[in-house]
A and B are shown apart, each in its own frame.
Chain A
Amino acid sequence: MITVDGLSKWFVREGGRDGVSVLHVLDNIDLTIKDHEFVCIIGPSGCGKTTMLKMIDGLVPVEGDAIRVDDVPVHGPGPDRAMVFQNFALLPWRDAISNVELPLEARRVPPAERADRAREALRLVGLNKFERHLPHELSGGMQQRVGLARALATQPRHLLMDEPFGALDEQTRRILQDDLIRVWEQLRQTVVFVTHSMDEAVYLADRVVIMSPRPGRIAEIVPIDLERPRDDLTRRSPRFIQLVEHVWERLRELNVVDAVEVAG
């Protein structure tokens, strides 16, 4: 279980004409994510969704115990969580399997077991034939599959995904969404998935968290009552369209406020 309890965050920026400026990124966020739940976080840019995700991972410092994972306050990355990055963050000089092995090296897993686990993770994401390929020899979608395999190989309880399909084209994105759901239904980690695509959020999630910007607040939490397994029929169902429209309306309201702020 991931508990976010009264989380606020300010960034202090140095430089510029005024010397130091303070940026209020997150304001008093409360959010509880149950085990095995798939939660998507969506919001306009600047709403702090990525910051919150990185705080859950421990990459961005958290004060006190505003974030607890399985009742332990987060103060840094841990073995129970694994991150999938927007721009893949693969080592370009390592082939697919060695990239997947990297976090296992950090955990001192013996080489033979490391290779087995990496191979298994690559198989899960359908890349078993591409073990020996360097990242630049793979398409964007395949690169992110490696990124997903790398996270899965650590056998995390919680999967944190930061706009993982944001850099991919629409076709690839849909295929990877389905593959992600397939993997998740098999392994049942908790997934926190940050996105700026409304379709994606509704299609994937059990709940969609809509955030408002400057400072980041939770505007609404939308339960997604679409049946699983979901497929292309889901996307065409009236309920799906209705939910996406609902998310869009909330986001548009937020963006109007945003536009007024800019004009003023």
Chain B
Amino acid sequence: MAARLWAARLTRSRQRFWSHLEERALAQRTATDLGLERANGTHAASRHPEGRGNGRRPFPRLTSYRVSALSVGLGLVAWELYARNTETFVPPFTDVIVAWVRMMGSGELLAALAVSSQAFVLGLGLAVIVAVALGLILGLSDTIDHAAAPFVSALVALPSVAYIPIIMLWIGFGLEGRIAVVFEFCVLVMALNFRAGVRSVDPDLLEMARAFRLTRWQTFRSVLIPGSMTGIMAGLRLGLGRAIKGTVTAEVLLVLVGLGGLVKHYGNTFRIDSLLAVVGTIVLIALVLTSLLMRLDRRVNRWRPRVQDTGA
């Protein structure tokens, strides 16, 4: 009985999802047609009519957030059951938690985190600066873009790991070497997205800027940068992910320090619970940083009409 109710609810929420999108779009259009006050009218109209106020509800509504949380919870329970009932190298989830608490208590994790974050922050920061410059140049100049295209394609095709021996020889095993790996992992993807952002700026807006005699700097600040914001944020999101991968990769392949060093160490000594505790920490950090960036994205792109809000 309960199962059937859930199934019905799932179907309904799926239907709702699509009608929800259409409703929003429609409400938005109607509101603008009527010249209604911003947002207020739109949002009120797009709320599900059956969403509230129908008295008792036996189950909580399946928001996308709840579905995600449910899926994670079920995954962890399955993991625990599987590990407890079979003989594998996979430790139960609770063992991983215990290991994590122990490593936090001993300061081992935090010390490793401090070491890792140095290379991460410096490598990513440097890469952002270079990528902004590169993205602007490639986005604004066709000639330079054409000239650079073969090199860019070659560099993109090459797996990032292939640079590590070169970095080893050129820069060495110190902090500089790790910074270089992080930089190399994330700089291109950001530059290419920034470039795409600049190229996505509506040429009509640039013509308008010329017609009203905006200075170079005003055009840059008021038209080009806001117009490129979608590409810039996409680049930062991808770059962030790749910088985390670069940080860990450098620590595993270049020099055994930081979180990557711990991964390698616990892998070699077959302490999988500790290994997974470190991996889990890395995943958590990545998720937190990504969600911060998404929040920033929503902030800078607030002017964009929001038709879809998946809550993810």
Q: Which of A77, A93, A138 is close to B212, meaning CB atoms less than 8 Å apart?
A: A77
Which residues of chain B are within 8 angstroms of A103 by Cβ–Cβ distance?
212-214
Bound-complex Cα distance A137 to B34 (A): 10
Where chain B touches its partner, the secondary structure class is helix
Nearest first, the 8 closest Cβ-Cβ pairs linking A and B are A103-B212, A89-B208, A93-B303, A136-B305, A83-B211, A106-B214, A89-B204, A93-B226
B215 at the interface (CB under 8 A from A): yes
Contact B218 A77 (CB under 8 A): no
Q: Mark B23-41, 1 if CB is under 8 A from A, else 0.
A: 0000000011101001000
- Which residues of A78-112 have CB atoms within 8 Å of chain B's CB atoms? 78-79, 82-83, 85, 87, 89, 91-94, 102-103, 105-107
Bound-complex Cα distance A133 to B33 (A): 13
| Closest residue on chain A to residue B219 by CB atoms | A106
Which residues of chain B are within 8 angstroms of A139 by Cβ–Cβ distance?
32-33, 35
Which residues of chain A are within 8 angstroms of B207 by Cβ–Cβ distance?
59, 85, 89
Number of A-B contacts (CB under 8 A): 71
B205 at the interface (CB under 8 A from A): yes
A-B contact pairs, 13 of them (CB 8 A): A79-B213, A85-B204, A89-B202, A89-B205, A89-B208, A91-B226, A92-B304, A106-B215, A107-B213, A134-B38, A136-B32, A136-B304, A137-B38
Bound-complex Cα distance A57 to B205 (A): 16
B286 at the interface (CB under 8 A from A): no
Bound-complex Cα distance A55 to B275 (A): 69
Q: Mark A104-137, 1 if CB is under 8 A from B, else 0.
A: 0111000000000000000000000010111011
Contact B212 A154 (CB under 8 A): yes
B222 at the interface (CB under 8 A from A): yes
A69 at the interface (CB under 8 A from B): no
A39 at the interface (CB under 8 A from B): no
Closest Cβ of chain A: how far from B46's Cβ, in Å?
15
B21 at the interface (CB under 8 A from A): no
Which residues of chain A are within 8 angstroms of B279 by Cβ–Cβ distance?
none
Size category of the B interface is 20 to 34
B45 at the interface (CB under 8 A from A): no
List residues of chain A with CB under 8 Å of any chain B CB: 57, 59, 77-79, 82-83, 85, 87, 89, 91-94, 102-103, 105-107, 130, 132-134, 136-139, 142, 150, 154
| Closest residue on chain A to residue B303 by CB atoms | A93
Which residues of chain B are within 8 angstroms of A85 by Cβ–Cβ distance?
204, 207-208
Bound-complex Cα distance A138 to B35 (A): 6
B84 at the interface (CB under 8 A from A): no
Contact A130 B35 (CB under 8 A): yes
| Closest residue on chain A to residue B203 by CB atoms | A89
Q: Which of A59, A91, A105, A132 is close to B205, meaning CB atoms less than 8 Å apart?
A: A91
B97 at the interface (CB under 8 A from A): no
Which residues of chain B are within 8 angstroms of A59 by Cβ–Cβ distance?
207, 210-211
Bound-complex Cα distance A134 to B32 (A): 10
| Closest residue on chain B to residue A103 by CB atoms | B212
B223 at the interface (CB under 8 A from A): yes
Bound-complex Cα distance A132 to B210 (A): 25
Closest Cβ of chain B: how far from A233's Cβ, in Å?
28
Which residues of chain B are within 8 angstroms of A138 by Cβ–Cβ distance?
32, 35
| Closest residue on chain B to residue A106 by CB atoms | B214
| Closest residue on chain A to residue B206 by CB atoms | A89
